[in-house]
Amino acid sequence: MDWKPDRKAKKAIYKQLAEYIENGIADGTFPPDKPLPSERSLAKELNLNRSTVIAAYDEIESNGLIKRNRGSGTTISKDIWGITKKRIPSWNRYVEAGSFLPNLPVTQKIRKEIEEQNLINMASGELSEDLFPIKDLRNITSTRSYAGSIGYDHPQGNRILRETILKHVRDSRRIESSPGSILITSGAQQAIHLVVQCLLKPGDAVAIEEPSYHYSLPIFKSAGLRIFYLPVDNDGINPEDLISLYKKHRIRMIFLNPIFQNPSGTLLNEKRRKSILEISSEHGIPVVEDDPYSLTSFSGEQISSLKSMDVNGNVLYISSLSKIVASGLRIGWIIGPKPVIERLSDAKQQIDFGHASFNQWIANDFLESNEFKHHIKNLVVQLRKRRDQIVSSLSEFLGDQVNFLIPEGGIHIWCEIKKDFNEVQLLEESIKRGVIYVPGSTMGSKKNCVRFTFASANEENIHEGIRRFASALQVI
Ligand SMILES: Cc1ncc(COP(=O)(O)O)c(C=O)c1O
């Protein structure tokens, strides 16, 4: 065999071997009427571990290309070279060739662990089920007649819902706009994705906060953008940093989550908010304001959005119902200049033909109801209790081993751990003890940080979760 694995390549050796064999099956190097080399002989010939060869065969078998038979070795599936001469494409190669990048491996791991194990979940950035307004939503779905209202709708989203959201942002965020300037999206996430895809091109420089939720999104890299970072201190980003980034890299767009930022929990102070708007209008740089958390203010104070302070039309405003009603509704929105909204909704129509009408009606009826106001009041009380719980549990179990800022809203707390540790090992040890959180490096921290979401577990579980985390930290 003249093939050799490339030991310097990034791709795992078992994957290289799987690809080599798959290609060999496709081009006839491995004929259909002969068994494939045994695991042992292949390992010897290629000077590989037998487990590497087994992993390669496992992968090819999962694609349906080979069969492992007890006694007669590994053979090529009859379906491929049988009477019908069907050929199965080499799916692995397609999977790796797409230009849309996968999630970070650690993000994939966290999702899998949450699905497969019964863990105290302080990783998912959402409310726990008991905080969803299930009863209110059930009342809405059981009383409304959906006759005539669930066909394809306007690509910008249902007109009645757009008007209801405009009233909601006028009352709660002091944002004035019109139905032509808002697009309903599948959560804030889709709004960010549409902005990246439709308004920027490969090579454009963008600025994001560090740490930030946006850091965790491969959609920026998939779009070929050059990403520059604005460090977040206790009052958010520093406008001076923005000026120097702009001078060096001609920043084309700024992505900010100014209020109760994910993950740091910080609030961009008013002076800085003003000066960012000044810089934005002086240089004509659009600001994308991602604002899903502002209604959770624990003090009840209504913090002005950048959009409400923006007199020149520089801000694209994004928000959603995910963090205040239910993440599974997938209702988000973006407000901006009409031509921008029309461009984005044209793209959204190509992608999914507009948002699901059923969810839009539910969202509309809930937002319009008195129950919505009661729900938010109650939610803020509950989130505040959970915030207090996590602060007291961190003090009880970790004391002076951690630094953190007490968030005044939102659902996350960002903890700096004073000692050096191995991030992967700490996550593994924590999972072994039944708790999961988000390691800081996935959100762009250079220091030893972790993000705990305190909305996704109740007070008792928060206390137990931090106890388990502290015990994991002791052993590494
Ligand atoms: C700052 C920020 N923006 C956007 C999102 C996406 O939320 P969704 O698409 O559920 O509205 C999240 C979710 O965690 C977030 O924290």
pLDDT per residue as tens, the chain (476 positions): 788 999 999 899 999 999 999 888 888 788 877 889 999 999 999 999 999 999 999 999 888 889 888 877 898 887 665 544 556 677 777 888 888 999 999 999 999 999 999 999 999 999 999 999 999 999 999 988 777 778 899 999 999 999 999 999 999 999 999 999 999 999 999 999 999 999 999 999 999 999 999 988 899 999 999 999 999 999 999 999 999 999 999 999 999 999 999 999 999 999 999 999 999 999 999 999 999 999 999 999 999 999 999 999 999 999 999 999 999 999 999 999 999 999 999 999 999 999 899 999 999 999 999 999 999 999 999 999 999 999 999 999 999 999 999 999 999 999 999 999 999 999 999 999 999 999 999 999 877 999 999 999 999 999 999 999 999 999 99
- pLDDT confidence of residue 83: 44
Best residue for ligand 1 mutational test, from 165, 267, 323, 333 (most atoms within 8 Å of Cβ): 323
Ligand 1 contact via 5 beta carbon (within 6 Å): no
- pLDDT confidence of residue 85: 53
Class of domain 13-97: mainly alpha
Q: Which ligand 1 atom lies nearest to the CA of residue 126? A: 14
DSSP string, 304-365: PPHHHH-SSS-EEEEEESTTTT-GGG--EEEE--HHHHHHHHHHHHHHHSS--HHHHHHHHH
Ligand 1 contact via 332 beta carbon (within 6 Å): yes
Ligand 1 contact via 291 beta carbon (within 6 Å): no
Ligand 1 contact via 213 beta carbon (within 6 Å): yes
Q: Which ligand 1 atom lies nearest to the CA of residue 125? A: 14
Domain assignments of the chain as residue spans, ordered by start: 13-97, 105-125+374-475, 145-368
Task: List beta partners, residue 402.
Answer: 417
User: CA–CA separation, 292 vs 333, rounded Å?
Assistant: 10
- pLDDT confidence of residue 344: 98
- Percentages helix, strand, coil for the chain (3-state, rounded to 5) are 50, 15, 35
- pLDDT confidence of residue 91: 73
- pLDDT confidence of residue 81: 54
In this structure, the residue with its CA closest to atom 16 of ligand 1 is 262
**For domain 105-125+374-475, is the CATH number 3.90.1150.10?**
yes
Distance of CA 469 to the CA centre of its chain: 23
Question: Would you give the DSSP letter of residue 104?
Answer: P
Tokens of 146: 């959906």
Class of domain 145-368: alpha beta
Ligand 1 contact via 458 beta carbon (within 6 Å): no
Cβ neighbours, 10 Å, residue 10? 6
Q: Which residue type is seen at 287? A: V
Q: Which residue type is seen at 230? A: L
Best residue for ligand 1 mutational test, from 103, 107, 189 (most atoms within 8 Å of Cβ): 189
- pLDDT confidence of residue 314: 97
Contact 427, 452 (CB under 8 A): no
Ligand 1 contact via 456 beta carbon (within 6 Å): no
Q: Which ligand 1 atom lies nearest to the CA of residue 319? A: 11
Distance from first CA to last CA of the chain, Å, rounded?
A: 45
User: CA–CA separation, 253 vs 410, rounded Å?
Assistant: 25
Tokens of 61: 């078998």
Closest CA to 437 of 392, 395, 390: 390
- pLDDT confidence of residue 109: 94
Ligand 1 contact via 211 beta carbon (within 6 Å): no
DSSP string, 33-60: TSPPPPHHHHHHHHT--HHHHHHHHHHH
Contact 205, 249 (CB under 8 A): yes
pTM of the model: 0.86
CA of 47 to the centre of ligand 1 (A): 48
